[in-house]
Amino acid sequence: MRDSAGIAVTGLGVTTAIGQGKAAFAQALFAGAHRFAVMDRPGRQLGTRFAGAEIAALEAGTRLGTRELRTVSLTGQVALATLEEAWTEARLDEFDPDRIGLVVGGSNLQQRELALAHDRHRAKPRFLRPSYGMSFLDTDLCGLCTSAFGIRGFAHTVGGASASGQLAIIEAAEAVASGRVDVCVALGALMDLSYWELLGLHSMGAMAPEECADAPALACRPFDRQRAGFVFGEACGALVIERLGARPDQERTRYADLSGWSVRLDGNRNPNPSLHGETAAIRQALDRAGLTAGDIDYVNPHGTASPVGDETEVAALRACGLTHAAINATKSITGHGLTAAGAVEAIAALLQMKHGRLHPTRNLTDPIDTSLRWVRDEAVEAEVRHCLSLSMGFGGINTALCMSTGDS
């Protein structure tokens, strides 16, 4: 018996540029709909033009009043709305709040808000709002969510760069598996980039260049030979993870079991990927799940459109014997949510498993490897019993997650 048996996902919440809520998000995914444009949110311009996908409007959660929300950043508002959807679906008000945990995936989450505050108060620093003393700390998001939802088990953040969202899922699963809590929410938080982060990522060659803003709909192209780097997309995802048998009617909202997972490091500060680290994470997750590569029906890859990263990931999939599995790239539709990416893409995988359909991969006109089973121009019907989701982050972080709806 695998040691991860009995851990399931029972609630989902998602907010992205292509839609808020599971229904809108799934509809946009299957249609391949996007919202890539030149980003114009205040605090993201400094004589620059970057392509990206920004949330157009937000239907705020109901846990805080309008007056309280005035001191809450965009990251916080999106977190509250996203968490509320997952919380309501999983009926977490039925649980003892002392047995509920929260893991927030991400660090340095509210940078744009901080940059705007610096610009606004540079000439009058004594007028800085007192809430700044909390908002520059990542624990601010933990405090905001736990106070709004009455969570009293535990809460903390985990920083894994672009692997943060999936790392939060793994930490939450391990907290439930150990009996520390009965249920735990994994939140992949919105990383609100300012022009400083955009310029830094651009200068290191990770982001698509500024000229991609001339045709933003074509800028994001994971696994295509014309890829030029990632395109940012605002996003946030929440998954409720609980122990099977905790409630008699749990099957009503059970999406899938978390059958196996892995975290492996490269021992590397730099952003370059590692074939060894990625293959090690995949193999360890499969082993923990009690699965072989042949059992995997579908892979949701990291797929950022990085010139080196995509090549390395394809090599890892080949080395692990996953060329038979269907593959698509969620970032081609949503953009790269950075700290939120792993959580949002796990949600995308779960919704595809539920609906029996796989979404298309936008702009995949000339794949870097034609031997893999890409889902390209249109959504396709597919039965997915076992899925593998992958995330990688700067600093040599590799994570892999197996999700299963049935035994192999």
> What are the tens digits of pLDDT across the range 37-46?
999 999 998 8
Residue 387 has pLDDT above 90, yes or no: yes
Q: Which of 180, 32, 42 is nearest to 99 (CA)?
A: 180
Residues 343, 113, 206, 300, Cα dihedral to 10°: 10
Half-sphere exposure of 55 (CA within 13 A, CB side): 26
User: What would the pLDDT profile of 80-115 be if each residue is shown by its tens digit?
Assistant: 999 999 999 999 999 999 999 999 999 999 999 888
What average pLDDT does range 140-165 have in this prediction?
95
What average pLDDT does range 339-348 have in this prediction?
98
- Which pLDDT belongs to residue 127? 74
Residue 123 has pLDDT above 90, yes or no: no
Mean predicted lDDT score pLDDT of the chain: 92
DSSP for residue 241: E
Residue 370, Cβ neighbours under 10 Å: how many?
7
- Which pLDDT belongs to residue 406? 66
Residue 408 has pLDDT above 50, yes or no: no
CA angle (370, 376, 379) in 5-degree steps: 145
CATH number of the structural domain 7-253: 3.40.47.10
What average pLDDT does range 376-404 have in this prediction?
97
The pLDDT > 90 percentage for the chain reads 80
Phi-psi region of 395 (alpha: psi -120 to 50; beta: other; left: phi over 0): left
Taking the C-alpha atoms of residue 365 and residue 344, their distance in angstroms, rounded to an integer, is 24
What average pLDDT does range 274-294 have in this prediction?
97
Name residues whose C-beta falls within 8 Å of residue 307's C-beta, 6 or more positions apart in sequence: 227, 228, 229
Confidence of residue 2 (pLDDT cuts 50, 70, 90): very low
229 in Cβ contact with 208 (< 8 Å)? yes
What average pLDDT does range 317-323 have in this prediction?
97
Q: Is 164 helix (H, G, I), strand (E, B) or coil?
A: helix
93 in Cβ contact with 143 (< 8 Å)? no
Phi, psi of 8 (to 5 degrees): -130, 160
What average pLDDT does range 141-152 have in this prediction?
95
Residue 60 has pLDDT above 80, yes or no: no
What average pLDDT does range 185-210 have in this prediction?
94
Q: Start-end ranges of CATH 3.40.47.10 in the chain?
A: 7-253, 256-404
Residue 54 has pLDDT above 90, yes or no: yes
Least confident range of 25-29, 87-91, 113-117, 323-327 = 113-117
| DSSP structure string for 264-301 | EE-S-SSS---HHHHHHHHHHHHHHHT--GGG--EEE-
Residue 146 has pLDDT above 90, yes or no: yes
Residue 138 has pLDDT above 90, yes or no: no
What average pLDDT does range 174-183 have in this prediction?
95
The pLDDT > 70 percentage for the chain reads 96
CATH 3.40.47.10, applies to 256-404: yes
261 in Cβ contact with 346 (< 8 Å)? no
Residue 69 has pLDDT above 80, yes or no: no
- Which pLDDT belongs to residue 250? 58
H or E element, residue 168: helix 164-177
User: What would the pLDDT profile of 351-377 be if each residue is shown by its tens digit?
Assistant: 999 999 999 999 999 999 999 999 999
Quote the crossing angle between the two packed helices 341-355 and 22-31, to the nearest 10°.
80
Residue 128 has pLDDT above 80, yes or no: no
